[in-house]
């Protein structure tokens, strides 16, 4: 989140060597910057935020091929990507929902995915049944 806020701290359009690929205007853009929590427009070039601030500032970065989105007052927030799993809970859910066979789950094409791992997993889940 901090890195996103740093990117959004640009207050004036940078001297552009190339125009923006995308300009978003007429929006409520949450910046995660406590000094400027909301702005009206942003510009993007090469998949990175180039500018956040006024519509005039963003439009100054437009070129003939710049895509323009008028959001009609809609809200834009930073994307937060979280990729993780709670494997113990997943294993417990699979066991309860599917009454699963650990050997069938952990073997691929007749070969063990992790030799002995299925027994260790079964024992672990048996010890922690209902936890979490």
pTM: 0.52
* Selection from 80, 82, 83, 84 nearest residue 5 by Cα: 80
Tokens of 102: 């650990």
In the chain, where are the structural domains located?
2-76, 87-127
Assess whether pLDDT exceeds 90 at residue 43: yes
Q: Residue 6: its pLDDT value, please?
A: 38
CB atoms under 10 Å from CB of 70, counted, come to 13
- The least confident of 18-32, 34-48, 96-110 is 96-110
CATH number of the 2-76 domain: 2.30.40.10
């Amino acid at each position: 989140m901090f890195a996103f806020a740093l990117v959004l701290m640009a207050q004036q359009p940078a001297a552009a060597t190339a125009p923006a690929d995308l300009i978003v205007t007429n929006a409520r853009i949450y910046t995660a910057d406590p000094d400027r929590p909301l702005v009206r427009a942003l510009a993007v070039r090469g998949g990175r935020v180039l500018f956040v601030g006024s519509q005039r500032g963003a439009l100054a970065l437009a070129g003939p091929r710049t895509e323009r989105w008028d959001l009609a007052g809609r809200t834009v927030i930073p994307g937060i990507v979280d990729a993780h799993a709670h494997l113990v809970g997943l294993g417990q859910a699979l066991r309860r929902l599917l009454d699963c066979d650990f050997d069938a789950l952990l073997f691929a094409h007749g070969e063990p995915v992790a030799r002995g791992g299925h027994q260790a997993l079964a024992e672990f889940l048996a010890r922690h049944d209902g936890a979490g």
